[in-house]
Amino acid sequence: MAARRRSKGTSHYPEFLLKVQHKGKTRFRFKTIDGAMKLFPVGTTEYQAIQAAMAYNTKHRSYDSVFSLESTSKYSSATQRRDRFDKPLKEWLPIVINRVKSEEDLSAGVLSKFINECAKLEEALGEVNTKTLTLAHLNQFLSDEYGDSAKRTFNGKVSNLKKVFSYLADESAVDFNFMLQKKMKKVTKEDFKKKRRDLTVSDYEQIYAAAPLFLKVAMSLSLQTTHAVREVYRIKYKISEPKEGVCGIVWYDTTKEVDGCPIYGTLYIHREKVKKSDSSFVAIPVTEAIKEIVDLSKTDRLLCPYIVHKKPPPSQRGIAKECTHPYQVHHHNISREFSKVRDKIGLFSELDKSERPTYHEIRRLSANLIEALGESATIRMAHANEKTTKIYTGKRDIVWNEATPITVKF
């Protein structure tokens, strides 16, 4: 009779190793070559049991693929061949990255972070053969690179390492994914508390007054739409129709009136962070306030399809990464300019930089101002699936969640 197939939770175990319940406790049991079933001592970790079982099997059980000095086979030259999967980690990481790109529909930002973390891993352990790596190596790496990180950040790094080693195990680059044994840090309510100071209306006005034109435009768009810098920097002056992954305005031929407010078109935003969610497709009416922001952005007379733009310095050549036009301002540069202006005028100088409000706090300020008007900011922010008016574009059956026409006022 064929052996029973292992469960998903123990599929990475060496042969003859079992996880069992013994006297109300989880224990590990191993079958030796003489047929004896031995229980590991209480307190033995899964990692220790796996290592012990692998060592025993290598020493006492005959496998064609395993070379043994005690072997008398006349084909010793063949069995002595090096394990072709046991290569330096740096040779496997590009394969892992390519598989993640093709198999996991990650957003550009999440994928970029994953690739950066793989680069750090390669720098630290790239020369080490994969089958030589142990949990001790990765614990040291985590301590060196992320030891001072917040618990939630640290846990995110652990999750990505588990992903890396799951692919390595699938490629036979490691015998099993030992990162599954890595424990996450316990996260409490305190860890979810916001550390950065909120932005007040007065703070916003002071930074706006000192900001260059492109930052004024970006800040105003975030205030009126509630959307973050990753969406704002992608908003185009004009698009012919709403599309997945595109942010821009479809203008009306004639002005419409909704609840007494003139509406000039619809601003379509597909939020990148939650792009797989139905709520990530947002349609915001172009009010007088949004039209004024668009008009303000044109006062520099630069030709660019993006509302947030500026002429780059002569030293900058080509188009920035994640941009499609030389004048388009990358979202990192918008955020940096905001912090630069904030510090230049001396706002929050008494606080540590990690506690000072950043550009992202405009989103929270906008939401609070909208709630103060008695309106819900949920749909506008692409946060949830409440009962909404659906706009069907006829393309891929994308449903856009229509926000109410609101002018955010102080």
Q: Are residues 138 and 179 in the same domain?
A: yes
- Asked whether residue 280 is assigned to any structural domain, the reply reads yes
pLDDT (0 to 100) of residue 395? 43
- The larger pLDDT score, comparing residue 289 to residue 402, is at 289
Query: Which tokens sit at 269?
Result: 């935003």
Q: Model confidence over 234-277: pLDDT tens digits?
A: 999 999 999 888 999 999 999 999 888 899 999 999 987 655 56
What's the number of domains the chain is made of? Answer: 3
Average pLDDT over every residue of 170-191: 88
- Asked whether residue 219 is assigned to any structural domain, the reply reads yes
pLDDT (0 to 100) of residue 286? 95
Under the banding of pLDDT at 50, 70 and 90, the label for residue 76 is: very low
Under the banding of pLDDT at 50, 70 and 90, the label for residue 334 is: very high
- Asked whether residue 402 is assigned to any structural domain, the reply reads no
Under the banding of pLDDT at 50, 70 and 90, the label for residue 298 is: very high
- Asked whether residue 155 is assigned to any structural domain, the reply reads yes
Q: Are residues 174 and 217 in the same domain?
A: no
Under the banding of pLDDT at 50, 70 and 90, the label for residue 325 is: very high
- Asked whether residue 357 is assigned to any structural domain, the reply reads yes
- Asked whether residue 400 is assigned to any structural domain, the reply reads no
- Asked whether residue 294 is assigned to any structural domain, the reply reads yes
* CATH number of the domain enclosing 151: 1.10.150
Given a contact cutoff of 8 angstroms between Cβ atoms, the answer to whether 261 and 347 are in contact is: no
Per cent of the chain over pLDDT 90 is: 48
- Asked whether residue 69 is assigned to any structural domain, the reply reads no
Given a contact cutoff of 8 angstroms between Cβ atoms, the answer to whether 277 and 382 are in contact is: yes
* CATH number of the domain enclosing 362: 1.10.443.10
pLDDT (0 to 100) of residue 249? 97
Q: Are residues 98 and 154 in the same domain?
A: yes
Please name every residue paired with 328 in a beta bridge, in sequence order, or none if there are none: 309
Name the nearest CA neighbour of 161 among 175, 176, 180: 180
Q: Are residues 262 and 214 in the same domain?
A: yes
Q: Are residues 213 and 306 in the same domain?
A: yes
Average pLDDT over every residue of 321-341: 94
Q: Which of 74-88, 125-139, 185-199 has the lowest mean pLDDT?
A: 74-88
Average pLDDT over every residue of 157-161: 95
Q: Are residues 152 and 32 in the same domain?
A: no
Task: Indicate the angle between helix axes 213-225 and 361-372, nearest 10 degrees.
Answer: 50
Q: For the chain, what is the mean pLDDT?
A: 84
Q: Model confidence over 37-69: pLDDT tens digits?
A: 888 998 889 888 888 888 888 887 755 545 555
Q: Are residues 386 and 267 in the same domain?
A: yes
Given a contact cutoff of 8 angstroms between Cβ atoms, the answer to whether 51 and 94 are in contact is: no
Residues 120, 132: Cα–Cα separation, whole Å: 19
Q: Are residues 375 and 247 in the same domain?
A: yes
pTM, entire model = 0.60
Q: Are residues 379 and 281 in the same domain?
A: yes
Give residue 237's domain range: 202-393
pLDDT (0 to 100) of residue 393? 35
Q: Is the pLDDT of residue 101 over 90?
A: yes
Identity of residue 231: E
Q: Are residues 290 and 330 in the same domain?
A: yes
Q: Are residues 364 and 330 in the same domain?
A: yes
Most confident of 94-98, 352-356, 384-388: 94-98
pLDDT (0 to 100) of residue 77? 44
Q: Are residues 264 and 157 in the same domain?
A: no
